[in-house]
Amino acid sequence: MDRKKFLKATGVGLGFALVPGLVQCQSSTADGDYFDKLEPKVIRDEEGNVLNVIGDIQTHKLIGSETGNQIVEWVDNVEPGVGIPPHIHTREDEIFRVIKGQVEIMVDGATTILNEGDVAFAPKNIPHSWTVVGTEKAKMITSAFPAGIEHMFTELSQLPPGPPDFPMVVEICAKQGITFV
């Protein structure tokens, strides 16, 4: 349902406007307010946990345990020709920001080339894919929210070297709610 129509139809929007502070963006646990326990963090360009996820060299900069499971962010450093086939996430949205090189991205059937500084958004439940094009290695910052997908990447990075066992990849991705199309 369209969010604006829902708010108008139920009068919820009016309630939010008339009762300030009714909705607070906080989450608490039995241990108290979880977000009070989050620590600031600075991650240098050369820092992070490097994973080879079937040829996608990812440097994980922020993971769910550091962000209250709100977001995970990594840097892809990928050779020309490497990419991810069309797939659908059912749990997380993704943002792709190209820092260097060119990436051909498809979101919901529309394909375009992202150049340095370009950004694409792939909401959950929408098919998308990407491939590094051109002649140079691409560097792309990818964010996924909510967090959780980093566990799948860790498992994929532990597969033996060589051509991937696609049925095994499908099985691992399915645990994260990801299907290939």
Q: What is the DSSP letter of 60?
A: E
Q: What is the percent of the chain with per-residue pLDDT over 90, rounded to a whole number? A: 77
Q: What is the pTM of this model?
A: 0.80
Q: What is the mean pLDDT of residues 146-157?
A: 98
Q: How is the chain split into domains, by residue range?
A: 3-37, 49-180
Q: pLDDT value at position 159? A: 96
Please check the confidence at residue 156 and state whether its pLDDT lies above 70: yes
Please check the confidence at residue 116 and state whether its pLDDT lies above 50: yes
Q: Which residue has the higher pLDDT, 163 or 114?
A: 114
- A 10 A CB-CB count for 173 gives 18
Contact predicate 115/109, CB 8 Å: no
Contact predicate 124/89, CB 8 Å: yes
54-112 pLDDT, tens per residue? 999 999 999 999 999 999 999 999 999 999 999 999 999 999 999 999 999 999 999 99
d(CA 86, CA 73): 20
Contact predicate 140/98, CB 8 Å: yes
Q: What is the mean pLDDT of residues 154-177?
A: 95
Q: pLDDT value at position 41? A: 95
The CATH class, in words, for 49-180 is mainly beta
d(CA 21, CA 110): 41
Q: What is the mean pLDDT of residues 116-120?
A: 98
> 90: closest CA among 120, 54, 130, 122?
122
* Tokens 């909401």 sit on residue: 123
